[in-house]
Amino acid sequence: MHGMGLNTADGHTVKLENLYIGFPGLLPVNQHAIYGPVNLDIGHAEMVGIIGRNGIGKSTLLRTITGLQDQIDGKVFFDGIENSRIAQKDLAKLVSFVSTESINIQHLRVIDLVALGRFPYTGWLGKLTQVDHTIVHEAIDRTGLKLFAHKPVHHLSDGERQKVMIARALAQDTPVIILDEPTAFLDLPSRHEILRLLNDLSRHNKKTIIFSTHDLAIAMDEADRLCLMTDQGFFDGAPEDLLINQVFRKLFLNSPVEFDSKTYAFRFKRELTRTVTIHGEKKYCSITRKAMERIGFLTVEEDVADAEISIKFINEQLCWQLTCKETNTSFNSVYALTSFLKKL
């Protein structure tokens, strides 16, 4: 970025020290921590993803860092200054927030919504100066919304609207941007696009970005660092460090879901009751194996399996030959093969 517009922040860090989060009740007795302690030192221009099961307190953690709710115990520092010593008005110039709420207001144009981000800087009537206008336009350009600038927000898709909210946070011109599940409700390409954009903002605009997500695979591609909130504790590191240390297994412990370290995704644990052996070209074998697992067959090497499949080309046509209970059957698609086996 250049010119008088969006600042590139320098040296802004966020530090969480023995932080306990929860819901502050009306009375001190009612206060109870739902998660803690969290210790985390987030460096300048880092992109940090928060992962954890629903209800563990991801949103609460993010809202606490943003100052939308008070911590139960422990401290939050911005550049070494404790957040309780920063006035709400000044905090709004340090941290901006993008919530999961979908904003759907009629007759509100994209450019006007983004301009609301200038709130902490404008006078009592909220009139925009030339500098404000420049920053709003840069935020719109940066998020690729130039063509939508004068459209009303309720005409946009969910993904575009999410970008509008990110543009609004950019216009707020804070060194730290916090996003609560920015990829929820989005289709797959939009999810990639949003996290790519965040990665870009952290590298090129030097924004410190903290976000929560359930999209582990995409977050592993884009985030500098992942934090795992589990019942066994708070783990953090580069996504690859977590892989090496096998931390992901802890995420859904005691649940029917397991981490597949080949696909970086979680999937349902399967009960494989029957066995099959598969022969043939390697790439077709692994595809067929995936289909077999779906219908409850464990692929084994030995010849003692319940069924045997050999994959070969017959008249240049791919063919699955099944030997099962001493009968031979031939299929020309995986679908035909699995349909047959399911009936057995």
Partner 1 sequence: MLFILLFVLLVVLILLDLTTGSVKIPANRIFSILFGANDENQVWNTILHEFRIPKTLTAILAGSALSVSGLQMQTIFRNPLAGPDVLGISSGASLGVALVILGFGDFFSMNSLGILSSWFQIFAAWAGAAAVLFLVMFVSLRVRDIMTILILGILFGSAASAFVSILQYFSHQSMLKAFVVWSMGSLGNLSGTQLRVLGISLLGGFALTLVTTKVLNAMLLGETYSRSMGVNIKLTRVLVFISTSILSGSITAFCGPIAFVGIAVPHLARLMFKTADHKILMPACILLGSLLMILADLISQVPGSAVVLPINSVTALLGIPVVIWVVVYNRRMVSVN
Q: Could you list the residues that contact partner 1 (CB under 8 A)? A: 26, 63, 66-68, 88-93, 95-97, 99, 101-108, 112-113, 116-117, 119-120, 122, 124-126, 154, 172
In the bound state with partner 1, the residue whose beta carbon lies nearer, of 55 and 123, is 123
In the bound state with partner 1, the residue whose beta carbon lies nearer, of 104 and 339, is 104
Distance linking the first and last C-alpha atoms of the chain: 64
In the bound state with partner 1, the residue whose beta carbon lies nearer, of 23 and 340, is 23
| Full DSSP string of 32-96 | EEEEEEEEEEEPTT-EEEEEE-TTSSHHHHHHHHHTSS--SEEEEEETTEEGGGS-HHHHTTTEE
In the bound state with partner 1, the residue whose beta carbon lies nearer, of 5 and 67, is 67
Find the Cα–Cα–Cα–Cα dihedral 117, 119, 122, 126, rounded to 10°: 110
Q: How far is the CB of 180 from partner 1 (least distance, A)?
A: 9
Find the Cα–Cα–Cα–Cα dihedral 259, 264, 270, 275, rounded to 10°: -120
Contact 146, 110 (CB under 8 A): no
Neighbouring C-beta atoms of residue 24, cutoff 10 Å: 14
In the bound state with partner 1, the residue whose beta carbon lies nearer, of 107 and 343, is 107
Rg (CA), the chain: 26
Tokens of 10: 């320098």
Report which DSSP code applies to 181. Answer: S
Q: How far is the CB of 9 from partner 1 (least distance, A)?
A: 17
In the bound state with partner 1, the residue whose beta carbon lies nearer, of 91 and 198, is 91
